[in-house]
Amino acid sequence: MDALVLCLLLSAYPLGCPGLTPPAQLPQPHNLPPAPGSNGSHRSLSVDLPMALRVFSVDYHHVQAPFEIVLWIMLASLAKLGFHWSGRVPAVVPESCLLIMVGLLVGGVIYGVRHSAPPTLSAEAFFLFLLPPIVLDAGYFLPGRLFFENLGTILWYAVLGTLWNVLGIGVSLYGVCLLAHSSLGDVSLLHCLLFGSLIAAVDPVAVLSVFQEMHVNEQLHILVFGESLLNDAVTVVLYKLFESFLRLPSVSGLDVLLGGCRVVVVGLGGLFVGLFFGLVAALTSRFTSRAQVIAPLFVFLYSYLSYLTSEMLHLSGIMAIVTCAVTMKQYVEANVSERSNTSIQYFLKMWSSVSETLIFIFLGVSTIQDVHMWSWPFVCSTLLLCLVWRATGVLLLTAVVNKLRRNAVTFRDQFIIAYGGLRGAICFSLVFLIDDFPKKRLFITTTIVVILFTVFVQGMTIKPLVELLDVKRKKRALPTVSEEIHSRLIDHLLAGIEDVVGYWGQHYWKDKFEQFNKKYLRRFLIREERQARSSILRVYQELERREQRGDEEAPPLVDPRSNSRPLLPEEMDSIRRILSRNLHNFNKRQTPAYSRHTLHQDATMDRTRKPLHRHQSLGDRYTYNTITHWPQVEDVEFNGSHKLRAGLSRSHTVCSISPRHVLQDTSAPVSTAQTAPADPRSSSATADQVSPQHQTPGGRGPKKQLSFDLESEKK
């Protein structure tokens, strides 16, 4: 038996080493006799069998695609891990720069070994697999309050600013081509506009990776991030529009008009597609109470489905997935459990981080190739024009929008907005989609140069500039319940003021949407048992979710001089349970809170209240003194004409206003009134002492007072 096993091993050994080669190169046996008990018609199948059993073999082609994908992801993750353990390097060099340098190194090694260009990132793989996770993560965790408060400014920068940059860069480059007619004479105006549309695309991946490390103030961050997010949607639409113009034999005025209509249809179409899938995702999450395991899956599926549907209909996929994420967030978070919310958060962060890392590494890898074409006038002009047109656009547009904003965008913020226009994978992927023409290689080279310049030079110098200009940083502590309640109080107050004066501002429409959301959408999209009965409790639950998410961008500050120990997890859980239970009990015991929409209903509940009575005497300068009275038993007469019934159920306040310069003998009644609240009759006497002063004409005595008496009816 041992001899038989040894013979099998020896016979398999010569075939084990050649097993590293493809199976097609293995020697095939011929003229093998049929196996006993087998039919002769199967003789053709027996020729593919090996001569002996192989103990070990390698079949790389069977797993080549997933194996290489896993290796690339592993390389990207190790590079990201090494970056964060590299000491002081993250404080000087942005993460995107280091990843691009790793990609350049890997691309150089591949080129040196294979003597051919390394693999490049295809546009289809970028737009269908790598871009959606990044945009979904940005939309799902978008600060909704800041975004919608600055939505007008963001759209102003994203739409008009992008058109300004595209037309300015395209027309200026066409002028450069006319000047350098000998080398660039075959570049048409439409080609320059097409290149201007892709080179004006500000990449949200590069912007996020740089601005998240600087912790700038919330307004500046949302302006830059929102503009870069919507800028991509506009540039992709303009790119496809100019690409369609290039394929036409001639462009007429009607084609330009239809192109403008197409831009509007593409943007609004993506918005409505995302809104539809967001509402469907919220409705689906309502019925996941018995299958909480698959609840996070619907968030990813509906979001990705909205993106694919928009791309299928030639609409804006970026607008669709952002709208879907913003629409479904509040309803999904209310329907699913806390564990599901945590799973959604970590999976989105992991997915977007891996995609972002792969994009930057492939940017570096794809730079090492043989398709470069150099032209000093074109490359240098493109770099200069990108900076000039973006800076002038930001300055002009901000000068207009500051006339309509309450919080003006400062000059320092304008400089950071203009300087923070980083280019990235969006324009790199779009340039490879251009149809072949003689100067396509020049466009590719120029795009790579602009990306490397903006990411390395601008990305590495923007942080020192922020510190040099002393740009306002954001608050690093999470808001408290008290701050959130006061913020909502101010919102209701401003909405009421806008309603009173008849001005339909952002607070008015925000309040209308909140009422519609509370009356219809939340009742229809959120389960009955998951709807918070109290707005304070809903604020507390939202802050709980923020704390459980572990917001790394805004960690709470801890005073190092404090001697108190940090709370244990068990103590924190106990505090949360006590607060939740007490808030529920408080909501049950108290009358429901009212808003200005239900004020007319609550006002009819207590008809015994009387308006504020004012007694005013002539005078020019007054000082305020407060006199507190306890419940009275008998009627009190003021000025001989006003009779008020006593018997208050609670204390009331009389505010008297006396002249600023009071004589020494005139202060005695006031002090007597303040020191005798225990006796009701003395209180009445004090009021009688005060009331004759109101009958004194303005010029007859030095004491002039204004009294406010707020009293209630007897029960």
Q: Where are the domains of the chain?
A: 1-30+51-62, 123-469, 484-553+572-586, 613-709
Higher pLDDT, 243 or 617: 243
pLDDT digits (tens, 9 = 90+) for 565-606: 677 777 787 887 777 776 666 555 544 444 445 544 444 444
Asked if pLDDT for residue 661 goes beyond 50, the answer is no
pLDDT digits (tens, 9 = 90+) for 81-106: 888 888 778 778 888 888 899 999 99
pLDDT digits (tens, 9 = 90+) for 385-419: 999 999 999 999 999 999 988 888 999 999 999 99
Give the pLDDT band (50/70/90) at residue 173.
very high
CATH of 123-469, one of 1.20.1530.20, 3.65.10.10, 3.40.50.960, 3.40.50.620: 1.20.1530.20
pLDDT of 387: 94
φ/ψ (deg, to 5) at 712: -120, 165
Give the pLDDT band (50/70/90) at residue 165.
very high
Instruction: Determine the Cα–Cα distance for residues 595 and 593; give it in Å rounded to an integer.
Output: 7
pLDDT of 442: 92
Question: Which residue do the tokens 């899938």 mark?
Answer: 277
Mean pLDDT of 511-523: 89
In order of 150, 470, 509, 526, the CA distances from 516 in angstroms are: 22, 42, 10, 14
Mapped onto helix, strand or coil, the DSSP state of residue 705 is: coil
Cβ-Cβ contacts under 8 Å for 49 (sequence gap 6 or more): 29, 32
Cβ-Cβ contacts under 8 Å for 605 (sequence gap 6 or more): none
CB 361 within 8 A of CB 102: yes
CB 48 within 8 A of CB 27: no
Q: From its phi and psi, is residue 633 left (phi > 0), alpha (psi between -120 and 50) or beta?
A: alpha
Asked if pLDDT for residue 171 goes beyond 60, the answer is yes
pLDDT of 533: 60
| Average of per-residue pLDDT values in the chain | 75
CB 245 within 8 A of CB 298: no
pLDDT of 484: 74
Mapped onto helix, strand or coil, the DSSP state of residue 493 is: helix
CB 184 within 8 A of CB 173: no
Residue 94 one-letter amino acid:
P
pLDDT digits (tens, 9 = 90+) for 268-314: 999 999 999 999 999 999 999 888 889 999 999 999 999 999 999 99
pTM flag (> 0.75) = no
Instruction: Determine the Cα–Cα distance for residues 668 and 78; give it in Å rounded to an integer.
Output: 82
Instruction: Determine the Cα–Cα distance for residues 21 and 27; give it in Å rounded to an integer.
Output: 11
Cβ-Cβ contacts under 8 Å for 7 (sequence gap 6 or more): none
**Cα–Cα nearest to 669, from 688, 683, 686:** 686
pLDDT of 83: 84
pLDDT of 548: 59
